[in-house]
Amino acid sequence: PKTLRLILGDQLNASHPWFNDVCENDTYVIAELHQETNYVGHHIQKVQAFFAAMNAFAIALKNAGHRVMYLTLDDTHKYSDLPALLSELLKDGMQHFEYQQPDEYRLSEQLAKFCEQLRHQNITSDCIDSFHFYLPHNELAEHFKANTSHRMEFFYRTMRKRFNILVDENNKPDGGKWNFDQQNRNKLKKQDIVHVPAPLLFSHDVSEINKRLNRHKVKTIGHAESQLLWPINRKQSLQLLDYFCHHLLPLFGTFQDAMTCKADDAVTQKQWSLYHSRLSFSLNSKMLSPKQVVDTVIKHYQIHDSVSITQVEGFVRQILGWREFIRGMYWLNMPQYKDKNGLEATNKLPSWFWDGNTKMNCLHHAINQSLQYGYAHHIQRLMITGNFCLITGIDPEQVDNWYLGIYVDAIEWVELPNTRGMSQFADGGLIASKAYAASGNYINKMSDYCQSCHYKVKEKVSDNACPINSLYWHFMHKHHQAFSTNPRQAMVYRNWQKQSSEQQQQILDKAKYYLADLDTL
């Protein structure tokens, strides 16, 4: 039958079975949509990267002989939403409609409803897997249950065995341990920083995309570089992967949790992503598959002595473990997950989240970098911006909107469980075994931010005392009932009890003083 096949912006998977054969009856549609640019204010580089990658994918499919329609905002602006556009396209004698299972609940629901309506118009429809993840969509329910705590570590071991990754013939883990996280917690010293390789950047002319965004008044956030520096096709994504294997993987695990503000000016080229891969955009847009990334990294480890099991396990865990785990938790808990606010947090996100204008150097640096590049690495997201929102009780809805907009890799299925669950503990511990709250001490241990900060990290109550300290204790004190039974947090409460009640009161008063006006910090 004459078929219309929809390719969403994050479904740029050239290895999908759809593309095995060229069929005259199949027309593919890839469309820039207002509904996708407007559901939250996105970072300008994120919109540029998606549109540029979608366009490059359409051209590659055409070159391979497929019939492809690439629709820009100019073509689609007159349609109120995706179903309206599809209805119009199907009028052109189409008998069948197909789409790949979306990763976002919102789109999945929208398309399922749309297909219901098509039934009345004698147009058949089909939804097939995106063939991107290790676990097919219809297997997720075998591993995850709604509203139930799951731990990544157990899931990860199951995945290692099931897919035969870094295990021997008896299913025992290579290197004798499933997880080398303990060895992955080094701080970058001054003498280490100059050796951090600069990130591999691309440069694409996106002036036509910028014109379209202006023409259609698309509201964006963040800075635009003169050229787009993110990969926009599979070839460039593979170059990024190769660069990672050769230059970053040898120390990926060692400095996985390290943070620095010195890297930016240590050498002429910037080093803002440290030893991280920056592969998340290529993965989330599906230009690369997780299997391809994991296989390449393991092959590299097997033939290069410079890479140890500690490094490679740490990296594989992020993709085979965390990424697949987060996706499962998302699907089994949506749509309720989006409304979770277990700690009843209602404060307003400080205005400086949108311009980086705060005297707290850790937040100033992490936010500025995010605005500049649409990127921050995991510990910056979790322990700097995330930690601040957690300990000051910011409304998780506002926190989510910030994270969903600002990062080039932000798509709800991966952003939401990481933010609401892992970072804000708003799901009551479905994902994380404890709230990831930290005082200035942790930030000082893992970074050099405190050395050039307006505030004093060792102090809790003096005039310029580090706000993170008193805010942390205020948070822990406030949630004493909920947290003190958690063995992972018992030690924290013992330390609190060691302080005199007078000291405790001073710290709580200081936190209240800061909380009264977060915008001025």
Please identify, using beta-carbon distances, which residue of 204 and 377 lies nearer to ligand FAD: 377
Residue 407 binds: one of ligand FAD, ligand SF4, none (C-beta under 5 to 8 A by kind): ligand FAD
Buried b (16+ CB within 10 A) or exposed e, 40-53: bbbbbbbbbbbbbb
Q: Is 165 in the site for ligand FAD (CB under 6 A)?
A: no
Q: Is 468 in the site for ligand SF4 (CB under 6 A)?
A: yes
Write the binding mask 297 to 336 for ligand FAD: x where contact by CB under 6 A, - elsewhere.
---------------------xx--xx--x----------
Per-residue x/- mask for ligand FAD, residues 349 to 368, rule CB under 6 A? --------------------
DSSP 194-211: TTSPPPP---B--HHHHH
Under rule CB under 6 A, residue 377 binds ligand FAD: yes
**388 HSE (CA, 13 A, CB side):** 27
Paired tokens of 438: 């930290």
Residue 278 touches ligand FAD, criterion: CB under 6 A: yes
Instruction: Look at phi and psi of residue 330 and say left if phi exceeds 0, alpha if psi is from -120 to 50, else beta.
Output: alpha
408 binds, among ligand FAD, ligand SF4, none (CB under 5 to 8 A by kind): none
Kindly identify the residues of this chain, within the stretch 349-388, that bind ligand SF4 according to CB under 6 A.
Answer: 360-362
Q: Binding to ligand FAD (CB under 6 A): which residues in 169-208? A: none
Bridge partner list, 274 = none
Pick what 360 binds: ligand SF4, ligand FAD, none; C-beta below 5 to 8 Å, kind-dependent: ligand SF4
Among 473, 450, 453, which Cα is nearest to 461's? 473
- 101 makes contact with ligand FAD (CB under 6 A): no
Burial 418-439 (b: 16+ CB within 10 A, else e): bbbbbbbbbbeebbbeebbbbb
CA 252 – CA 245 distance, rounded (Å): 10
Residue 166 CB, nearest approach to ligand FAD (Å): 15
314-to-2, 14, 179, 233, 245 alpha-carbon distances in Å: 47, 28, 7, 26, 13
Task: State which residue, 26 or 350, has the beta carbon closest to ligand FAD.
Answer: 350
Task: Among 423, 439, 444, 489, indicate the residue that binds ligand FAD (CB under 6 A).
Answer: 423
Based on CB atoms, which residue is closest to ligand FAD, 160 or 381? 381
Answer for which of 275, 315, 455, 473 binds ligand SF4 (CB under 6 A) is 455
Residue 423 touches which of ligand SF4, ligand FAD, none (Cβ within 5-8 Å per kind): ligand FAD
Task: Kindly compute the dihedral angle of the four CA atoms of residues 378, 379, 383, 388, in this order, to the nearest 10 degrees.
Answer: -50
Residue 132: partners with Cβ closer than 8 Å, 6 or more residues away: 11, 13, 286, 289, 290
Residue 419: both structure tokens together:
């933010």
Binding partner of 409, given ligand SF4, ligand FAD, none, CB within 5-8 angstroms per partner class: ligand FAD
Beta strand 220-221 with 42-43: parallel, antiparallel or unpaired?
parallel
Instruction: Report the residue from 410, 443, 453, 476 that binds ligand FAD according to the rule CB under 6 A.
Output: 410
**Tokens read off for 72:** 């820009």
- What's the token pair of residue 476? 């822990």
Of residues 425 through 454, those in contact with ligand SF4 by CB under 6 A are 440, 443-444, 449-450, 453
Of 228, 206, 186, the residue nearest 375 (C-alpha): 228
Q: Which residues bind ligand SF4 (CB under 6 A)?
A: 360-362, 440, 443-444, 449-450, 453, 455, 457, 466-468
Q: Which residues bind ligand FAD (CB under 6 A)?
A: 273, 276-280, 283-284, 318-319, 322-323, 326, 377-378, 381-382, 386, 403, 407, 409-410, 414-415, 418-419, 422-423
